[in-house]
A and B are shown apart, each in its own frame.
Chain A
Amino acid sequence: QKEVEQDPGPLSVPEGAIVSLNCTYSNSAFQYFMWYRQYSRKGPELLMYTYSSGNKEDGRFTAQVDKSSKYISLFIRDSQPSDSATYLCAMKSVQGAQKLVFGQGTRLTINP
């Protein structure tokens, strides 16, 4: 079993829809949770990060962490065609190595 599970999709929604992307994890030591966006043939770029449980909002993006369920989510409101990309969740423990553990990534397409 992978430490981090993420549905690879693909996920296709119409412009303006609310998008929900999710990851589950098995390592209870994870404390820092991140979402990266990766456009085709580009490196991942950090979108959101949260520490421990809770919600964080930034513009049209909201990240949620439920540590009791070992489940994290990213919501995109008023989705735009420019949001079409692969979204990767990533996480790390406080006392662990410097590495991030990534999910497989979900490929998202927003249709105009």
Chain B
Amino acid sequence: GAGVSQSPSNKVTEKGKDVELRCDPISGHTALYWYRQRLGQGLEFLIYFQGNSAPDKSGLPSDRFSAERTGESVSTLTIQRTQQEDSAVYLCASSFVPGSYGYTFGSGTRLTVV
């Protein structure tokens, strides 16, 4: 597609359940990033993929968070045993080359844990 696609756009889940968030980057973009944006806050880096490897996963908040990427395509962010503090917008971005400032962001998945 023309842009970065994320699904679902909204997700409400019960505390303790697992959730999967999906990101389809722009075709040909080798680098993929996940960020989290809490209400009224800036973006927090979670993880960076180059191809299907993750050279930097330093932003993942806990071992409940994991992510994978298939080749240079779809990425899935999984949150296990969700907590209320996980409520946020999860944004995915991709870029043609790693380190490029020219990220293209998706519209995000708004996660609410009740």
Contacts and interface: CB of A to CB of B under 8 A. Distances in A.
A99 B56 CA distance: 9
A92 B93 CA distance: 16
Contacts of B105: 43-45
Nearest to B43: A102
Contacts of A102: 35, 42-44
Contacts of A88: 42-43
Contacts of A90: 43
Nearest to A42: B107
A18 B105 CA distance: 28
Contact of A98 (B48, B102, B106): B48
Contacts of A4: 42
B69 to A, nearest CB: 14
A45 B4 CA distance: 12
A73 interface: no
B1 interface: no
Interface string A4-33: 101010000000000000000000000010
A83 B85 CA distance: 31
A11 to B, nearest CB: 14
Contacts of B99: 92, 98
Interface in B41-57: 41-45, 48, 50, 55-56
Interface string B29-44: 0010101000011111
Interface in B92-114: 93, 98-99, 101-103, 105-108, 110
Contact of A104 (B31, B33, B42, B59): B42
